[in-house]
Amino acid sequence: MENMIRNNWTLEEIHNIYNTPLLELIYKAATIHRDFNDTAEVQVCTLLSIKTGGCSEDCSYCPQAARYNTGIDVQALMKKEEVLAYAQKAKDAGSTRFCMGAAWREVRDNRDFDRVLDMVKGVNEMGMEVCCTLGMLTEHQAEKLAEAGLYAYNHNLDTSKEHYNEIITTRTYDDRLQTLDNVRKAGVTVCCGGIIGLGETHADRIKMLHTLVTMPQHPESVPINALVAIKGTPLENNKKVDIWDMVRMIATARIIMPKTMVRLSAGRTDMSVAEQALCFMAGANSIFAGDKLLTTPNPSFDEDNIMFQLLGLKPRESFKAEKEKLKDMVEA
């Protein structure tokens, strides 16, 4: 099966998969998902905004950009004790990955970064996979995060290279790719996906998937977000993303990246349990749980537990990929 993991997919091949009749596409994705993953398992992640608002970027979907008036209260970096208490609550509710997000353009080598390194150490000691999303990183900063015990770094591409300048002008697509490269060099796993509903075309979605799948190593985690249109941002009047577009994106991502965790991310509050079930069937095996995603609403842990029971799903244990690698090495 390993030879099905390919990094040389062409745009045309991805286009043909993406445009497969929907039921056939779901069937193909579900078959590959079953071959490569435990389909009863879903990774439950929790995302906490450890520093909110006041960001100098102009991402046109984001309520945390300082230049938009979205009613977000700017909050300084949280205290370590508060963050660890939140992480413990998430762990008790069934989360195995804890992601900390700070509304920064890039990481600066200062006291705040030292405090984040401390938080990473603390969460890692709790036995959870630690993820951060802090903006752009240098190689040295990525190394320091790795030393502190960081498991994953999230840095989304958002959209295709061609559509990118319509959404963000304060940093380039290549800046994003460079950060991902720095993360890889430090030995940290990569969490990288995008957002649909930004006014992009189907071709843009296919191109974004092509960028992800032709990286030297597939991202270990690919979040697929549906735009949550926030009043006060330039995209406040964008139409709600159709559920079938989400299913199509998830299924295509699963087929071309069989081993990657494909995360059903923002936009899940608007989905019924039946719609989420279709996403799981199409290959999604990761969700964000907890009442908020940075600043936007998200289904509660209790709602998710009820859904998991109904669908026969169970949370994936922490560090499972590492345990499987060790097992394979011992057997070899």
Q: List active site positions.
A: 55, 59, 62, 99, 131, 191, 263
Backbone φ and ψ for 197, nearest 5 degrees, come out as 105, 15
Angle (CA) 20-204-30 rounded to 5° is 35
Return d(Cα 22, Cα 96) in angstroms, integer. Answer: 32
Backbone dihedral angles phi then psi of residue 75, each to the nearest 5 degrees: -130, 135
Task: Quickly list DSSP for 99-160.
Answer: EEEE--SB--SSHHHHHHHHHHHHHHHTTPEEEEE-SB--HHHHHHHHHHT--EEE---BS-
Q: Residue 195 and residue 203: Cα distance in Å, rounded?
A: 14
Report d(CA 57, CA 93) in Å as an integer: 34
Query: What backbone torsions phi and psi does residue 226 show, to the nearest 5 degrees?
Result: -100, 135
DSSP string computed for 312-325:
T-EEPPTTHHHHHH
Angstrom CA distances, 15 to 29, 44, 201, stand at 15, 30, 12
Planar angle of CA 63, 294, 292, nearest 5 degrees? 115
